Amino acid sequence: MQFKKFTVTLPIFVICLVVLILLSTFEFTFGSTDIVETANHGSSTPWWIWPLVLFVVTFILGIVAVLGGVGGGVLFVPIIGGFFPFNLDFVRGAGLLVALSGALAAGPGLLKRGMADLRLAIPVALIASSSAIIGAMIGLALPKNIVNIALGATILGIVAIMLMAKKSEFPDVPKADALSTALRINGIYYEASTGQEVHWKIHRTPQGLALFILIGIMAGMFGLGAGWANVPVLNLLMGAPLKVSVATSKFLLSITDTSAAWIYINNGAVLPMLVVPSIIGIMVGSIVGVKILAKTKPAAIKYIVIALLLFSGLRALLKGFGIWN
């Protein structure tokens, strides 16, 4: 078993590392960042290379995201933004649509099985999606270096959350708060692994909703998706069971990212040549990832995800400070 996990993890890690190193070298060699020069003369690299490489990289990201238990969006924006020649405006627009497509694809199954909860999602989504509009507008208005610095800092913050945050399968909620009681946010789901009915309710709803203002702004600003923040707030702060939190978080992205995506679409920050290969790459990669996951779940994959985020977060930060362009 250990050997099997090793044979899955090692190639993924080596592929990721090689691809990132090649991309950073390739971009450094062929991808001038001088806007005037670029607009006048373009690049010597044939146009089709980048969408093709984009498809391959997003395919790998799709596999890694499933095995690492993270959304594709959180890997997409820092890696594609850091190692491809595309402007961060278009990468964030594509990132939102990648996260949106993943959430739209997963949403129906999660809702029908009762894992994602509409009553929990609706109030949260209203706050997050309104805030995401503001975040998207701020993100498109800010200078590129500021966005890179903020993105780098956020990615490093996500790494810290991934390393430190604990999860609680069934959080202890002694008493539902007044707001969640008024909104009747509670439920029952069938836990197949134990064969038990799980009755759940939530608490600290006002605090949770307040945090979703911040989460929405960040989701819209960086196009990251927001599962990394949704799940801890729903699970650890508000006390929803882990499975309900994960499923509702995934479904929530379909609403939060919808509002932000429209801002990017209407402001011209969507290039089909980036968006379509990315969506298809991530989706096909996710399907392959699910098949690998059915056979083995290498624990080390979490650390590959963390290493990728750390590397790309530092890259964004250094780009923002003009140290590594």
Partner 1 sequence: MADKFKATEEQIRYATILDLGMKVGLVALILSFIIYLTGILPAYIPVNDLPKYWKLSVHQYLEATGIPQGWTWLKLLNKGDFLNFLGIAFLAGVTIICYIAVIPIFFRKKDKIYGILAIIEVLVLLLAASGVLKTGGH
Site for partner 1 in 276-315 (CB under 8 A): 276, 279-280
Q: Which stretch binds partner 1 (CB under 8 A): 66-74, 227-235, 271-279, 306-314?
A: 271-279
Residues β-bridged to residue 190: 197
Using CA of residue 109, residue 110, residue 114, residue 119, what is the dihedral sign? negative
Asked if 263 touches partner 1 (CB under 8 A), the answer is yes
Applying the rule CB under 8 A, the residues between 11 and 30 that interact with partner 1 are: none
Least separation in angstroms between CB 135 and partner 1: 11
Positions 197 through 236 that interact with partner 1 (CB under 8 A) = 197
**144-163 binders of partner 1 (CB under 8 A):** 144
Distance CA 149, CA 14 (A): 28
Instruction: Return the ∠ at Cα 84 (arms to 81 and 87), rounded to 5°.
Output: 55
CB of 51 vs partner 1, minimal distance in Å: 9
**Member of 22, 190, 199, 207 binding partner 1 (CB under 8 A):** 190
Residue 221 or 305 having the CB closest to partner 1: 221
Task: Give dist(CA 237, CA 261) in Å, integer.
Answer: 28
275 binds partner 1 (CB under 8 A): yes
Give the separation between CA 260 and CA 22, rounded to whole angstroms.
32
- Closer to partner 1 by CB, 198 or 237: give it: 198
Please say which residue, 143 or 174, places its beta carbon nearer to partner 1: 143
Q: Does 272 bind partner 1 (CB under 8 A)?
A: yes
In which region does residue 249 sit, left (phi positive, over 0), alpha (psi from -120 to 50) or beta (all else)? Answer: alpha
78-137 residues near partner 1, rule: CB under 8 A? 85-87, 89-90, 97, 100-101, 104-105, 107-109, 111-114, 117-119, 122-123, 125-126, 129-130, 133, 137
**Helix and strand element counts for the chain (H, E):** 13, 2
- The least CB distance from residue 126 to partner 1, in Å, is 5
Check binding of 267 to partner 1 (CB under 8 A): yes
Q: With respect to partner 1, which residue has the nearer C-beta, 121 or 158?
A: 121
- On whether the CB atoms of residues 132 and 217 are closer than 8 A, the answer is yes
- List binders of partner 1 among 34-73 (CB under 8 A): 35, 38-43, 45, 47-48, 50
- The string of DSSP letters for 34-55 reads -HHHHHHH--SS-TTHHHHHHH
The CB-of-204 to partner 1 minimum distance in angstroms stands at 19
Count of residues of this chain found to bind partner 1 when the rule CB under 8 A is applied:
75
Minimum CB distance to partner 1 smaller for 68 or for 107: 107
Lookup: tokens for 191: 């836990």
- What is each CA distance from 271 to 27, 95, 162, 268, in whole angstroms? 19, 11, 31, 8
Q: How many angstroms separate the CA atoms of 292 and 7, rounded? A: 12
What single letter denotes the amino acid at residue 241? Answer: P
